[in-house]
Amino acid sequence: MRTEKFDVTGMTCSSCVAHVEKSVSKLEGVKTVNVNLLTNSMTVNYDDAQLSTTSIEQSVEEAGYQAHIRPMAGDASLSLSPKIDFVQQEQDEMKQRWWISFAFLIPLLYISMGHMVGLPYPHVFHDPQNALLFAFTQFLLVLPIAFVNKKYFQTGFKTLFRAAPNMDSLIAIGSSAAIVYGIYAIYQIGYGLGHADMETVNQFSHDLYFESGATILTLITLGKYLEAKSKNRTSDAITKLMDLAPKTAVVIRDGSEMEIPVEQVVVGDMVVVKPGQRIPVDGVLESGNSSVDESALTGESMPVFKEKGDSVMSASINKLGYFTLRATKVGKDTTLAHIIELVEDASSSKAPISKLADQISAVFVPVVMGIALLATVIWLLLGYPFDFALSIGIAVLVISCPCALGLATPVAIMVGTGKGAEHGILIKSAESLEMAGKIDTIVLDKTGTLTEGKPRVTDVFAISSVSENDLIELAASLEKQSEHPLSEAILQEMENRKLKLKNIEAFLAIPGRGIEAMILGKKYSVGNEKLMMERSIDLNDFADLSNRLADEGKTPLFIAADSHILGIIAVADILKSTSKEAIDQFKNMDLEVVMLTGDHAKTAAAIQGQLGISTVVAEVLPQDKDKEIIKLQAAGKTVAMVGDGINDAPALMRSDLGIAIGAGTDVAIESADVVLMKSDLLDAVTTLRLSKAVMLNIRQNLFWAFFYNVIGIPLAAGLFYGVLGWKLNPMFAAAAMSFSSVTVVLNALRLMRFKPTASLLNNHEILITKTDTIMSEKTLQIKGMSCGHCSARVEKVLNAIDGVEAKVDLESNSAKLILSKDVSDETIKAAVDNIGYEVTEVS
């Protein structure tokens, strides 16, 4: 048995998916077929002794679509190009069809309806003697529109004749009915002019409906183009993953270094990795040491120290050191290739979401055709003229035209996604919106999602004879020369406090322990507890403090002078200001909240306690995150995953709804269904609320679109003609169709009133839920805050002022105040100044 993947173009709805699967499944030797509408892909498991890929492609083509085999995922240089070419080709074709259709539709609407709205109009079209010119001009304008959109007719009628009608069938029937009736009217006009029958001329001059057929094709093509544009984004995730892999590697062969294509590296090769380079293959360090940034794979922000014997992964970045490694996994066996495979498998395993419009049209199309045919025959049997009976049949088809059904979903989606984008939420497809409303479990990655994703100094503890600033100054002076991943946090703290570096001598870096140097003849050490123990430095009470800090998820750095401890500086990746509130709102929505992290259990437990998350899974590898999603889905959960790292990409694709934090990696963003551009978890709450609003709107649109047909079809069929004398002219049938479309659009515009979820005190819109009268709002810029304790102290003193409700944001060094009483700027500044900080601006 063999499994191959194909790119399939031309599919437009779930009926197309079913038709392709049915066509391929009939082939002898095929075991399973899985067609994915979102990614325009097909996976076939078959017996290659009985069947060839060419036969599979031909079977798809016979069904009315195009299929092209995709190279194996392991072929790094080739695997993506066919997919990108064909998907992009389909999008470009839709765009071209839309512009051509639009270019001819405008003059067609002007000629056919310009006089109705009072536009300047050539006199030649007013003269009944020129009615044939009036009609034939419209016919010439509709021809290019019909030609560029010929796929609707080809696919629509082909599937119709195979008893598997889809949305294309509805489009083809509706537009063809209008165009064919228009051609019939031209003949009648010509006949009337030839026999001086001006009554016939006038009648059929007003019974031209070329503009109806053209409008149907143009609007549907616009919707299809927007859909194709969204689908094309799905291939970008794999592209960006592939771009992470270096194209070349430096290996040692025959005693000398040589640069070769990465595909030529074999297991056992000695690979040289220089500072700043990406590691080309998985391997084990043979010599040298360095800090390695694995965030591209693990999503964790802090680089990991590596020395001889440690394993490293492909696509990781060597920060500063020089080392050699022995290749253990190459090509499609590397960690990066495995993640790529997971993303592809997760993408193709997603079941296509059935569109409500397609479900309705599956029954609606044959029923309408039957009614139109039956009505025509009945009126002929009753002795009425052929043109009378034909106009009845055409009126039924025109009023049941798919325009409103076609607009019901895309118009609401366009308004909904536009509203989301207005508030920093990028929703990639209608499927994403639909699924967001069904979520009952939300899974959150820790680093970069709940936390800021970069280490900061959170606490400074010094002995009584040393100030906090002195301790920071000493540590920063040594860390300036260090490659340690936490050195940037110490140096940033020094800059925040406006301190100066000291001159050091005899600097020594101790891998995996810390650093030492001489300052004015005294030896200073900065490092972990192991370094302190090796130097026989008595930690006194700082040992217990270190354990407490570790329990809080922080990394303690000890600072010592000679053999005496001076203090501890704690560094951690701190929580975002809105994380707690977002989780509380998820709980209020009756969602189960789960946190996944690669951190140690102790760090994960600390975050769990701070945020009140009920379920936490710690120490998970990239592959495990994907497995955790599968476990939840197997338990019957509908899962949304929120993450930002490349290692989150498989889980984002596997989940029912992938949500990427905008500050994360490009791959996570491209792999997700929703991107939060402002990196604010509260926007995930907004996404779920927006989804429910949009899906309700779509259901309303579909109901009204169908309701118009339910009311209009009996009228168009002449049901009331014998009793009341009511006969629906095809012109009014088209007007009714247009009215239903206008109703759909107006209903969708109600979504413009949607308001995003917002924290009371953050950068979003402020929602006031209290009945108190708000006298004013103020924003402070505060100088001197450097850690979470600083911001907490400022927030505490501000909230202690009567009539002030404050929220401090450490990242922007600002505070947002809501005042229910008149409080002077001087009072506010004095309160902050008294605790050692400075208010630089009040606005």
Task: Enumerate the active-site residues.
Answer: 445
**Helix or strand (DSSP H, E) at 516:** strand 514-519
- Separation of alpha carbons 322 and 760, rounded Å: 50
Measured in degrees and rounded to the nearest 5, phi and psi for residue 778 equal -135, 150
Contacts of 817 (CB under 8 A, 6+ apart): 777, 778, 779, 780, 798, 804, 805, 806, 828
Q: Three-state SS for 593?
A: strand
Q: 626, 448, 446: which is closest to 553 by C-alpha?
A: 446
| 513 within 8 A of 526, measured Cβ to Cβ | no
- How many whole angstroms separate alpha carbon 490 and alpha carbon 475? 7
**Using alpha carbons only, what angle is made at residue 454 by residues 815 and 766, rounded to the nearest 5 degrees?**
30
Q: What DSSP string describes 246-312?
A: -SEEEEEETTEEEEEEGGG--TT-EEEE-TTPBP-SEEEEEEE-EEEE-HHHH--SS-EEE-TT-EE
Phi/psi-derived region of residue 728, left when phi > 0, alpha when psi is between -120 and 50, beta in every other case: beta
Q: Are strands 639-643 and 441-445 parallel, antiparallel or unpaired?
A: parallel
Amino acid at 697: N
Identity of the amino acid at 692: K
Burial 558-579 (b: 16+ CB within 10 A, else e): bbbeeeebbbbbbbbbbbbbbb
Alpha-carbon distance of 325 to 280, in angstroms, equals 10
Query: Does residue 568 contact residue 532 with C-beta atoms inside 8 Å?
Result: no
Question: Can you tell me the distance from the alpha carbon of 206 to that of 468, in angstroms, rounded to the nearest whole number?
Answer: 89
Cβ atoms within 10 Å, residue 236: 16
DSSP-derived secondary structure letter, 575:
B
40 phi/psi in degrees, rounded to 5: 50, 45
Vertex 699 angle, CA 695 and 702, to 5°: 135
| Tokens standing for residue 11 | 């599919």
CA angle 632–635–637, rounded 5-degree value: 60
Can you name the residues that pair with 67 across neighbouring β-strands?
Answer: 8
Rounded CA separation 271/652 (Å):
33
Q: Which amino acid is at 304?
A: V
Which backbone phi and psi does 268 adopt, to 5 degrees?
100, -15
Map 718-766 to HEC letters.
Answer: CCCHHHHCCCCCHHHHHHHHHHHHHHHHHHHHHHHHCCCCCCCCCCCCC
With CA atoms as reference, report the closest residue to 388 among 728, 128, 709.
Answer: 728
Helix, strand or coil for residue 582? helix
